[in-house]
Amino acid sequence: MKLIKRIASAVLGIAMAVAMNPISVYADSETSNSDFDDFMKSEFVDTMENDYTTMHFSVADPDAYGIQKGDVSIGKIEDKDTIISENQESLDKLHKFDYDSLSDTQKEDYKEYENQLEAAIDQAQYIDLEMLFEPSSDVISNIVTNMTEFVLRSKEDAQDYITVSKSIPDYLDQAIKLTQEQSAKGIFLTDTMLDEIEEWLDGFTSKTTDNALIVIYSNRLKAASFLNDEEKTSLDAENQKVVLEQIIPAYQKVRDALEALRGTRKYGDSVFDLPNGAAYYQAALKGKASSDKTTQELLEISESYLKEMVQKLSLLQNTMSSTTQNEKVSLTTPEEVLSHLEKELGNEFPTLSSFTYHAEYLDASVATDAIVAYYMQCPVDDAAENSIKINGSNISDENNLYETLAHEGIAGHMYQRNYYISTKPNELRLVMDTLGYTEGWAMYAENQMWNYSGLSASAVSYHQLETSFGYTIDAVIDLMVNGLGYSDSKVQSYFKDLGVNSTYVTNIIDYVKEYPLLLVPYGVGLSYFSQLREEAENALGSKFNATEFNTVLLNNGSRSFNLVASDVQKYIEAQGGTASADSALNETEDDVPATSEKEPTNWVLFGSIGAGLAAIGIIAFIAGRKFRKDDPFGA
């Protein structure tokens, strides 16, 4: 995803198809264990039945899976003991399977599900530090997104929407109570964070009949062919009453409650400053970066890549003319860009079949300064339901539109999900959240698609390096400040030695304190994928084939980087190459999975732990660039 400014109200629609076929790079030993498949399906069904909104966004036809609709609500806030016991129960069931009896694909599923469950247990230990109103992951804007993206497929859905809306005030009351308990311990938002949240709340509560929750639902009702006019009128009136009399007052209550707690934070303004902040960051980082590596190890990986980008970008800027830097792609609309990306996809990515999608500009009433665009993941059983939403006023020019759609669409998020669906994976894998992989992949794919933009080689290199530098420096500074407790002066000194302008660095330090871990998946994930590719190219030389390599990255879906690195190593060896033993990306992956005594990693299925709010499959493009007005290498 990407973040930036505001949005236009124009709406564009696109529906296209791409002819593609998945590639197998090396054979899978498919001695399948049907009991394991049944277990994974059962876990998927249980997950869907335990959270209505997650089910609604993840599955178009629940009946086909035997899924029984549970409590219709926005969600619930789970306590630590519940999170740990439920995940431990699933982990114990998983460990009963004989790993050696599984096929290669099932082994991959086993390892990733184990990673995810252990991670959830680990992060639950620090649930008291999960701030539900933190700007980078606040429940208030997430609720609005859940509701404005709520799909109406039937008359029952239209009524369920109203029921979910009515549950929002109770959910927010729970969130307020937990926040007050945290505040009593000195754990609360910084004043800067609080100002950001209050500004958003003021904007939301100031809208009445023009509120996004009224306008968008009304428009969806008008388009619903399964409702008659009388039903549409009735539902529209009922929703307006709920928004005006329940939801807006509940949001005002949140605003008042948070303001009453202003100044109660007893600690510094970084995650590291919180009690057990370093341990909490490490636990959260594993999910954000899709890696078991320590904060220090991930910093070293990202630092290595960043230094390479600084050197290359500095050299390029010294030799590149302003004319080259200002080159623009010749594509000006989402239709043109996506059509072009579709045609160029086969240059180095495997192809698919029945790849359909549409893109449209966001309604101004739901646009935020933070989002440039986002991809709404298609349900596990309806690959045609792909949607990209573009924040029009945050698209600065043709190049920005091109990179955004390469990131969100082809060959980024939308393509990656559809490719994995085409391999017919276990449904549970399709609802797991592996943010470091998914954002890292989209950054990597965006960079590769610049090669087919029609710009000169120098302009292509500039855009690739500028993007890589920008997101990696965000991640590096976040790791330093929030993860390892570097002082502002230490960070400044470090980057002064690299030749990066101090004002530029100061702005990023301020940003990562307000939005901790938000941009880490982008920078760390891009570092991983880029360095894995460099390692494969070095090991294979003329034997390296980009399509085969990218197929290896894609075939087993979004997953932890220890599994990705293992797959790349197998690929290199299968092609007669030798992987570097001292690679910074070396991830040990045993043939036999760890036992339950293993030091747990972290994962949160469907968003922030304790929040219980559906992630709804939104993968957005976070810009984090609106504050970068200065030349990073200027005076």
pLDDT digits 0-9 by tens, 423-448 = 999 999 999 989 999 999 999 999 99
Mean pLDDT of 54-70: 95
Number of H helices, E strands in the chain: 24, 4
SS3 42: helix
Structural domain tally of the chain? 1
Mean pLDDT of 284-309: 94
Per-residue confidence band for 454, with pLDDT thresholds at 50, 70 and 90:
very high
Query: What are φ and ψ of residue 417, in 5° steps?
Result: -65, -45
- Domain presence at residue 345: no
Mean pLDDT of 63-86: 94
Res 5: pLDDT: 23
- Domain presence at residue 409: no
Mean pLDDT of 39-47: 97
Model pLDDT for residues 220-241, shown as the tens digit of each residue: 999 999 999 999 999 999 999 9
Mean pLDDT of 605-609: 31
SS3 602: coil
Pairing of strands 387-390, 371-376: antiparallel
Least confident residue range of 23-32, 166-175, 412-421, 574-583: 23-32
Report field, pTM of the whole predicted structure over 0.85? yes
| More confident site: 613 or 581 | 581
Model pLDDT for residues 528-571, shown as the tens digit of each residue: 999 999 999 999 999 999 999 999 999 999 999 999 999 999 99
- Domain presence at residue 259: yes
Structural domain for 165, as ranges: 139-266
Per-residue confidence band for 634, with pLDDT thresholds at 50, 70 and 90:
low
- Domain presence at residue 183: yes
- Domain presence at residue 466: no
Per-residue confidence band for 9, with pLDDT thresholds at 50, 70 and 90:
very low
Backbone torsion region of residue 424, taken as left when φ is above 0, otherwise alpha when ψ lies between -120 and 50, otherwise beta: left
- Domain presence at residue 214: yes
Res 287: pLDDT: 87
Query: Between the CA of residue 69 and those of 49, 454, 611, what are the distances in Å?
Result: 6, 50, 20
Return mean pLDDT, the chain.
87
- Domain presence at residue 553: no
Q: How far from chain centre, in Å, is Cα 252? A: 29
How many CA within 13 A on the CB side of residue 541? 4
Res 352: pLDDT: 87
DSSP string over 75-104? B----HHHHHHHHHHHHHHHHTS-GGGS-H
